[in-house]
């Protein structure tokens, strides 16, 4: 007797993805890589429907299995995006016959089920970090996000965490969740892989050919670009031939403020320079042009740029807070991100010891090879299938 019953692992599903809250940096990189490494021939998913801001969706290639939808409301204000998600998204997901709705931005207030969310923003769950923004509007926005994301996570049918640190931190705040959970770290674009170069002695550098430092991150208060700047300034005053490059996007106000600060301390860009937002495809050239990487954030669910620096074969000085020690492990020298003296001390250890630089480079480069976007994509879509099929039972 011939039957039409398929084994659970062979049942194909349709996935809807709400990218309403994906706007900058790691969120876009994650989703872009997730879909670039999706293979409908081997995946439990045969079609993906993606909703988002038009400018964001334009970043994604036109795959035959991917349908991109950009309602006008998603190019509007935060309030308009919230109302669209609340009153329109559920209807559209059902219209597209999706089996599960994936919320990589972590906030959902609609009525569709089953829903899988991902926590990529740890800020709302870190009280110390929230207080940095008082009394600005961002402070109250983060409080609101904490309320919304707590409800979203607790009511979701599945939740994806990027690290053990973020899972433990969030569950300690929200309490136990009713849905399935999984830890699926970000992957790594293999174009960043670059074997560690044998480092040179600091005496081989000069003011004309300085030892170059790089910090890549969004411009924001909890990323601590200012303490990094002050740390490098102190080292330059000690006579080290250094130049620090800052790369990253941010709000117009924060970018302008930081650019003006750099002009006040180094008008002629002798030892510090702000490159602003650099296209993703050009970042490898930046990594290859420097001698040491810095990562000073005090709040990260994962840190894609940290992983890119590890893969690029660079020695790394890193914040000792949040999820960074989980990712970098013994592959770097740690510092307190709010303390310029601590940052300077970590950098100086590398400057004085090429051997230490090379040892740490090799460790971090080896660790980076454990991460892949192929594995991240496969595990993510398999988890979405498990939640979808479990909901139908």
Per-residue pLDDT reduced to its tens digit, 214-258: 999 999 999 999 999 999 999 999 999 999 999 998 889 999 999
**Contact at 8 Å (CB) between 245 and 214?**
yes
Beta-sheet strands, E only, within 127-166: 158-161
Q: What average pLDDT does this structure show over 345-367?
A: 98
**Residue position matching structure tokens 């969030």:** 170
Structure tokens at 22: 């994906």
Average pLDDT, the chain: 92
How far apart, in Å, are the Cα atoms of 244 and each of 145, 230, 270, 323?
34, 11, 9, 24
| pLDDT > 90? residue 4 | no
Q: pLDDT, tens digit, for every residue of 121-165?
A: 899 999 999 999 999 999 999 999 999 999 999 999 999 999 999
CA angle (247 as vertex; 81, 234 as ends), nearest 5 = 130
DSSP β-bridge partners for residue 182: 160
Output the pLDDT for position 280. Answer: 83
| Res. 281 pLDDT band, cuts 50 70 90 | confident
| pLDDT > 90? residue 331 | yes
Output the pLDDT for position 1. Answer: 33
Residue 216 to residue 287: CA distance in whole angstroms: 10
CA angle (167 as vertex; 190, 382 as ends), nearest 5 = 55
Ramachandran assignment for 329, one of left (phi > 0), alpha (psi -120 to 50 degrees), beta (any other): left
**Contact at 8 Å (CB) between 292 and 245?**
no
Dihedral in degrees, nearest 10, Cα atoms 118, 124, 129, 133: 130
Residue 381 to residue 384: CA distance in whole angstroms: 5
Residue 137 to residue 126: CA distance in whole angstroms: 17
Q: Please report the domains of the chain, with CATH numbers, ordered by start residue.
A: 8-187+372-392 (3.40.50.2000), 190-368 (3.40.50.2000)
**Contact at 8 Å (CB) between 160 and 380?**
yes
Q: Which of 371, 374, 360, 368 is nearest to 194 (CA)?
A: 368
How far apart, in Å, are the Cα atoms of 134 and each of 102, 140, 337, 381?
32, 8, 19, 39
Q: What is the DSSP letter of 303?
A: -
Q: What is the DSSP letter of 167?
A: H
Residue 215 to residue 274: CA distance in whole angstroms: 10
Q: Which of 24-38, 174-188, 291-305 has the lowest mean pLDDT?
A: 24-38
Q: What is the pTM of this model?
A: 0.91
Q: pLDDT, tens digit, for every residue of 55-84?
A: 889 989 999 999 999 999 888 887 888 899
| pLDDT > 60? residue 108 | yes
Output the pLDDT for position 107. Answer: 87
Length reported for the chain = 393
**Contact at 8 Å (CB) between 242 and 213?**
yes
Residue 39 to residue 88: CA distance in whole angstroms: 29
Percent residues over pLDDT 90 in the chain = 80
Output the pLDDT for position 391. Answer: 82
| pLDDT > 80? residue 198 | yes
| pLDDT > 50? residue 5 | no
Output the pLDDT for position 380. Answer: 96
Residue 294 to residue 177: CA distance in whole angstroms: 35
Output the pLDDT for position 3. Answer: 35
Ramachandran assignment for 248, one of left (phi > 0), alpha (psi -120 to 50 degrees), beta (any other): left
| Res. 170 pLDDT band, cuts 50 70 90 | very high
């Amino acid at each position: 007797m011939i039957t039409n019953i398929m084994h659970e692992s062979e049942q194909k599903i349709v996935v809807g993805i709400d990218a309403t809250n994906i706007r900058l940096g790691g969120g876009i990189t994650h989703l872009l890589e997730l879909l670039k490494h999706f293979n409908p021939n081997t995946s439990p998913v045969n079609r993906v429907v993606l909703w988002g801001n038009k400018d964001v969706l334009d970043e994604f290639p036109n795959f035959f299995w991917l349908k991109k939808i950009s309602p006008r409301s998603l190019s509007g204000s935060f309030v308009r995006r919230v109302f669209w998600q609340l009153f329109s998204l559920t209807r559209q997901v059902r219209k597209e016959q999706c089996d599960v709705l994936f919320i990589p931005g972590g906030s959902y207030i609609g009525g569709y089920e089953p829903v899988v969310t991902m926590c990529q923003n740890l800020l709302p769950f870190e009280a110390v970090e929230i207080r940095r923004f008082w009394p600005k509007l961002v402070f109250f926005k983060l409080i609101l996000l904490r309320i919304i994301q707590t409800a979203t996570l607790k009511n979701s049918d599945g939740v994806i965490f990027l690290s053990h640190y973020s899972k433990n931190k969030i569950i300690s705040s929200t309490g136990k969740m009713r849905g399935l959970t999984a830890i699926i770290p970000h992957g790594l674009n293999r174009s960043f892989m670059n074997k560690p170069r044998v480092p040179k002695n600091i005496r081989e550098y000069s003011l004309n050919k300085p030892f170059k430092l790089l910090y890549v991150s969004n411009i924001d208060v909890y990323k601590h670009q200012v303490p990094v700047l002050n740390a490098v300034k102190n080292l330059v005053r000690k006579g080290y031939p250094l130049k620090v490059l800052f790369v990253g996007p941010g709000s117009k106000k924060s970018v302008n403020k930081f650019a003006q600060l750099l002009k006040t301390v180094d008008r002629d860009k002798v030892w510090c320079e702000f490159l602003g937002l650099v296209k993703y495809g050009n970042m490898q050239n930046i990594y290859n042009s420097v001698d040491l990487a810095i990562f000073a954030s005090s709040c990260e669910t994962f840190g894609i740029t940290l992983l890119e620096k590890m893969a690029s074969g660079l020695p790394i000085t890193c914040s000792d807070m949040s999820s960074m020690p989980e990712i970098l492990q013994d592959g770097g020298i740690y510092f307190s991100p709010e303390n310029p003296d601590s940052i300077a001390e970590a950098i100086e250890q590398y400057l004085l010891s090429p051997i230490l630089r090379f040892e740490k480079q090799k460790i971090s480069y080896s660790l980076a090879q454990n991460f892949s976007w192929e594995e991240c994509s496969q595990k993510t879509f398999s988890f979405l299938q498990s939640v979808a099929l479990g909901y139908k039972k």
